[in-house]
Amino acid sequence: MAERTDELRVEIEETRERMGETVDALAHKADVPGRTKEWLGEKKDAVTSKVGDVAPHPEQVKRRMSRLKQGAERNPIGLAIGGAAVGFIAGLLTPSTRMEDEKLGPMADELKSTATEAGREAVERGKEVVQEAGETAIETAKERGREESEQLSASLQEKARDVASTGSGDAAPVGTTTSQTGSRPSS
């Protein structure tokens, strides 16, 4: 009889230990706000890291500037024409003096008209060169941003599904305390 009593005590102690572990596990599962806060903290850190990665690295900036420089070297005439166009436009925007009007008269108007047309053409050519270089840089940045966004989105969706699946069905009833469920405070 004493042996049987000792066996029962051992069984009871083992059952208590298993129940304590089960209660702790259930308490962890029921702590959806705590787990969510932890998960969000991890995601915040990941996003912060990703945003730092999206910002162009100094090497990328150097490469882009090098490409822009090469574009200008490949088409120096376009760059020169663009510069001349800016000069022409600045000259045309400055008001003419009375002396210029008297001496040059109608010839000045014709010259201004021709210079204006040449300036517009030069500006258009210069715009094309600059626009091409700008579009290349923008496309590179957009592509990198899309890649990072897709990776982050997939990761967040996966974690949201994990939280939704672990939070359903196994939680303790709302309003129960640890003393009602018999769990020990988790640390």
Cβ-contact 29, 171 below 8 angstroms: yes
Domain ranges across the chain: 75-163
- Predicted TM-score (pTM) of this structure: 0.26
Split at pLDDT 50, 70, 90, the class of 94 is confident
The pLDDT value recorded for residue 178 is 47
The predicted pLDDT at position 116 comes to 75
pLDDT band at 55 (very low <50, low <70, confident <90, very high): low
Q: Which pLDDT score is estimated for 120? A: 77
d(CA 139, CA 66) in angstroms, rounded, equals: 16
Tell me the C-alpha distance between 146 and 138, whole Å. Answer: 12
Residue 86 pLDDT: 77
Cα 73 to Cα 28: distance, rounded to the nearest angstrom = 65
Model confidence at 132, pLDDT cuts 50, 70, 90, reads: confident
Whether the pLDDT of residue 187 is over 50: the answer is no
Question: What's the average model confidence in pLDDT over 25-30?
Answer: 78
| Residue 19, pLDDT above cutoff 60 | yes
Helix (H, G, I), strand (E, B) or coil at 182: coil
d(CA 112, CA 98): 16
Q: What is the pLDDT of residue 40?
A: 80
